Structure 1
């Protein structure tokens, strides 16, 4: 039970991390265009 919740927690954090990365990339691309 704890392993499953821990796994879900890690996945959630990874998803947040990737969302932040995507947002940063989009911002960098915007700055590159201008």
Structure 2
């Protein structure tokens, strides 16, 4: 097993999930602002 590869994969996944959370949060605020 390569700890470095696992770390890179986890970091990449964390960054992607972070992007999705930001997009979801901003989209929710946008919808809330229109109401």
User: Could you tell me the TM-score, scaled by structure 2's length?
Assistant: 0.87
What per-residue deviation string (whole Å, max 9, x for no partner) do you get for residues 1-34 of structure 1?
Answer: 10000000000000000000000000000111xx
Structure 2: runs of 5+ lacking an equivalent: none
Q: Which segments of structure 1 move beyond 2 Å, counting only runs of 4 or more?
A: none
How many residues align structurally?
Answer: 32
Q: Which residue of 1 aligns with 2:27?
A: 24
Query: What RMSD, in angstroms, separates the aligned Cα atoms of the two structures?
Result: 0.4
